[in-house]
Amino acid sequence: MFRPIILLFLIIPFFSCNEEKPDQIIPYAFVNQDINLNLIQYQNLRNIGGYVYINGENAGFKGLIVYHEGNGIYRAFERACTFDPYSTCDPIIIDDSGLFMTHPCCKSSFNFYGNPTGGPASLNLMQYTTYVDGIYLIIRNN
């Protein structure tokens, strides 16, 4: 009589192997960017809702998304998704609608405060410190 119950407890783990990975901490990467807002490659940042992608040295783990919120407020986000920062697919992008950020592989989405709004990610995007000094937008992770 107890055998079916024991058998049930032995079988259940085999059907529950489809566990989702937990969110992961983004690895530390140095961020040190001084952006001249007058340069043509950053002209999109002059508009409220404008954004640019920054890649390369001193631009975080997988690059940065810099977003102009308005009133002199700029936000800089790490492009690595908090659900799977080591993913080999493309990093976080701005959706074609321009209304949110999304990760092409895991389909997590984030608002422009870095909060998750859909998909498997539950942690906020890593955000870096920004401030304007004259014509320069300074981005740091200190």
Distance, CA of 9 to CA of 7 (rounded, Å): 5
Q: Assess if CATH 2.102.10.10 describes domain 34-140.
A: yes
pTM metric for this prediction:
0.81
Each of the 142 residues of the chain gets a pLDDT tens digit; together they read 545 444 444 444 443 333 455 566 888 899 999 999 999 999 999 999 999 999 989 999 999 999 999 999 999 999 999 998 988 889 999 999 999 999 999 999 999 999 999 999 999 999 999 999 999 999 999 7
31: left (phi over 0), alpha (psi -120 to 50) or beta: beta
